[in-house]
Structure 1
Amino acid sequence: MDLGITTVADTDPVVVSLTGELDIASAPPLAERIRSLIDAGRTRLVVDLAGLAFCDSTGIGTLVRANNDCLLQGGYLRLAAPSRHVARVLAVVGLLDTFPTYQSVEAARRADADALVVAGP
């Protein structure tokens, strides 16, 4: 399955929605899209994971690098609406503690602490 990337850049923060699979084959286009946003001064990003079915270690690395790049420019990267499977992967690798992941895009836009995704038992 391919990765679909949709960007809503006329909002602050910018919302980048992903569908399909984020893996070694599809991570480069996402990295390029995020790099182009950062280069254009758009450093406040919400990545909508609601349509993401799979994420491998390359995809995770892409998100971590994007987060670091946003932070270096005074912005942020927030994740939103991961499926149970993707949230579990994020929890296992410790990303839920690394940068904020919210239950919905709207919660991520508001940085609603009550809507953070937390690692389950």
Structure 2
Amino acid sequence: MELGIATVDDTDPAITALTGELDIASAPKLEDHLRDLIDAGCTRLIVDLSDLSFCDSTGIGTLVRANNERLSRGGYLRLAAPNRHVARVLAVVGLLDAFPTYRSVDAARHADVAGLVVVRL
């Protein structure tokens, strides 16, 4: 399944919604998109994972690099609404500890600690 990327950048933070699969074949597309956003000055970003069905290590690396780039520019990247399979992958690789992942876009927008994703391994 192909990766779909849709961004609403007229809000602060901007919101990028992903659909489909984020893997070795599609990660470069996302990396380019996220780089274009940062080049345009978008340093605060929420990535909506609600319709992302799969994420491999290449996709995870893309998200980590995007987070690091935003942090270095005084911004942030927050993940929102992963399904339970994607949330488990994020937990296993330690991303839930690396940067905030929220149960909803709204919780991510407000940095609602009560809305953080918690996965018991």
Gaps of 5+ in 2: none
CA deviations over 1:17-41 (Å, ceiling 9, x no partner)? 0000000000011111110111111
Q: Give the Cα separation in 2 of the matches to 1:74 and 1:89.
A: 27
CA deviations over 1:75-99 (Å, ceiling 9, x no partner)? 0000000000000000000000000
Q: Give the Cα separation in 1 of the matches to 2:27 and 2:15.
A: 17
Q: Give the Cα separation in 1 of the matches to 2:28 and 2:73.
A: 21
Q: Give the Cα separation in 1 of the matches to 2:68 and 2:109.
A: 18
The alignment status of 1:78 with 2:94, answered yes or no, reads no
Shift of 1:118: 1.0
Q: Give the Cα separation in 1 of the matches to 2:29 and 2:74.
A: 23
Aligned to 1:103: 103
Aligned to 2:118: 118
Q: How many residues align?
A: 121
Amino acid in the other structure paired with 1:94? G
Q: What are the residue-to-residue correspondences of 1:47-86 with 2, within 5 Å?
A: 47-86=47-86
What secondary structure sits across from 1:54 in the alignment?
Answer: strand
Q: What are the residue-to-residue correspondences of 1:8-87 with 2, within 5 Å?
A: 8-87=8-87
Shift of 1:119: 1.9
CA deviations over 1:26-64 (Å, ceiling 9, x no partner)? 001111111011111110000000000000000000000
Amino acid in the other structure paired with 1:97? D
Q: Give the Cα separation in 1 of the matches to 2:91 and 2:105.
A: 19
